[in-house]
Amino acid sequence: MSTKRKMRSRQMKQKGAPHPRPFALSHVDQHGKARMVDVGDKDVVRRMATARGFIRLSKETVSLVRENGLKKGDVLAVAQIAGIQAAKLTPQIVPLCHPLELTQIAVTPTLMTDGVEVTATVRCVARTGVEMEALTAVAGALLSVYDMCKKIDQRMVIERIVLTEKTKESLW
């Protein structure tokens, strides 16, 4: 870990503490209209976000994924690439998200006994965070698993897509 101190976002630091503007939404103007937040005055810092999600599969589907027995191919490899691609396309999927130059996208799908867990970590050096990119990477990877398995398993459930960590670190 760098000697520079990692800092958590204000919301994660103050768990349970009331927000100074409890009903103010950053992406809504004073007239209630959607707007893109101006981040021009914010410092450029190293940012990282990690998200996780899960898709519940039948035991038969888990076995087929493990044995690489699906006609569409290697489910976990495709999920990894789909997650990376989804992170890169986040500003086109989430309308008010700033386009960022991402420096790293790591997507790890893991086969469990009852489904697939996906973890994604995204990094950049920017004025705004990469939480949406990490969450979108997980969602994209899980949707690709769903797409590849839908013919054999109509009871799949995508669940628990959550942000698990977010950091920012000064460059100086």
Which residues, including other chains, have CB under 8 Å from residue 98's CB and lie 6 or more apart? 36, 37, 39, 91, 126, 127, 128
How would you classify residue 113: left for phi > 0, otherwise alpha for psi between -120 and 50, otherwise beta? alpha
User: Catalytic: which of 29, 41, 74, 147?
Assistant: 147
Residue whose structure tokens are 């790591």: 106
Known catalytic residue at 153: no
Q: Residue-wise over 40-79: b if at least 16 C-beta within 10 A, else e?
A: eeeeebbbbbbbbbbbbbbeebbebbeeeebeeeebbebb
Give the closest residue to 163 by CA, choosing from 85, 53, 83.
53
Residue whose structure tokens are 């004073």: 30
* Structure token digits, residue 14: 């103050």
What amino acid positions are annotated as catalytic residues?
147
